[in-house]
Amino acid sequence: MIRIREIDHVVIRARDQQRLVRFYCDVLGCSVERRQDEIGLVQLRAGRSLIDIISVDGKLGRSGGAAPGAEGHNVDHLCLRVEDFDVGALRAHLTAHGARIGDYGSRYGAEGEGPSLYLCDPEGNMLELKGPPDVPGAGVTGT
């Protein structure tokens, strides 16, 4: 039997690789773990997981077909579990960085029902920031 523990990595094809790397690092707090420029790959550390950003013009990216755009995304959405979930602080931070913010609500995730906030990265890929599971009798921080 296969026992999945967590997301290992997600691969996102990008028209502007460096813009996405800056967004995921500067806005969402990831860090560059390693680069393989010869194949067009930058691997970002996102907690215990990785987000691979590949250039559509690089060796790996060319094999994936057309570039992402309004009519065809390469990822539906990526959900990142965040600590100290405060929707007001998250919205302020994301707005300050020009991120397009979507719906906020309680949704089911890997750890159960809890707060989540949707947003888009600079190339239109949908992200979900997920807080801790709800605890009976405890409220979600923020509004």
Each residue of 69-115: pLDDT tens digit?
Answer: 776 667 778 999 988 899 999 999 999 999 999 999 999 888 889 99
The Cα-based distances of 123 to 53, 108, 109, 120, 134 in angstroms read 12, 26, 24, 8, 31
The Cα-based distances of 73 to 27, 34, 92, 107 in angstroms read 21, 25, 27, 23
Cβ atoms of residues 57 and 64 within 8 Å: no
Q: Is the pLDDT of residue 17 over 90?
A: yes
The whole-number pLDDT of residue 98 equals: 93
Cβ atoms of residues 44 and 33 within 8 Å: yes
Q: Is the pLDDT of residue 143 over 50?
A: no
Each residue of 18-53: pLDDT tens digit?
Answer: 999 999 999 999 999 999 999 999 999 999 899 999
pLDDT category at 125 given cuts 50, 70, 90 is: confident
The whole-number pLDDT of residue 140 equals: 45
Query: Average pLDDT, whole number, for the chain?
Result: 86
Q: What is the pTM of this model?
A: 0.73
The whole-number pLDDT of residue 62 equals: 76
